[in-house]
Structure 1
């Protein structure tokens, strides 16, 4: 199952941290290990996006320990309902998480989350 992850409202280092937590449990289908979010010049907001392959039998228990962020981060997960839930659980293992919205369609689910660091 493919899950598209969008990270906004944060500096590049926080986007890296979020994507690295997901990469511990799921392979990215569009980024290699060295392809990390970078700061971009300009006045507009920056959005980082990656697509992860979430297997049906994925287990996220303990995939990530507590992680630090410089502030709160907005993350949107979109894809098959089961894959979105597994990705959400992986993020919940590493961050303090607040659900900010959820939309479900016929074969797809979109979840908007607000993450904060949860230091060990």
Structure 2
């Protein structure tokens, strides 16, 4: 695995939905390599190079989405767990499955409006 702590892949929803999801993760991981910007994209990605901040707590406020968004988070076990917890606090989520390797994990969530 590279030095990247977390890769987030988003499909479904619009640009504003993708930006809201990335903003929710910024409180825990800091700024990503770039924010979603292409209105026409069907799949968007963001990578966070910083490990999850141990003192950052997920915001209790829930965000609204315009459409369902499938989110895949991939990275270190700690990063995937922190991202999953953060997203479940910020959005209505359904766990769609997980996979684990030696040093990397992946989890897929469905975020619903």
Cα deviation for residue 72 of structure 1 reads 1.0
Could you say which residue in structure 2 is the equivalent of 1:5?
8
Is 1:96 aligned to residue 97 of structure 2? no
Is 1:72 aligned to residue 75 of structure 2? no
| Greater CA drift, 50-59 or 61-70 | 50-59
Q: TM-score, normalised by structure 2?
A: 0.85
Could you say which residue in structure 2 is the equivalent of 1:38?
38
Distance 1:38 1:64 in 2: 29
Q: 1:22 aligns with which of 22, 25, 29?
A: 25
Cα deviation for residue 64 of structure 1 reads 5.3
SS across alignment from 2:26: helix
SS across alignment from 2:102: coil
SS across alignment from 2:73: strand
CA-based RMSD of the aligned residues comes to 1.9
Q: TM-score, normalised by structure 1?
A: 0.80
SS across alignment from 2:9: strand
Q: Is there any run of 5+ residues in structure 2 with no aligned partner, and where?
A: none
Distance 1:69 1:113 in 2: 14
Post-superposition, which runs of at least 4 consecutive aligned residues in structure 1 deviate over 4 A?
none
Q: Is there any run of 5+ residues in structure 1 with no aligned partner, and where?
A: none
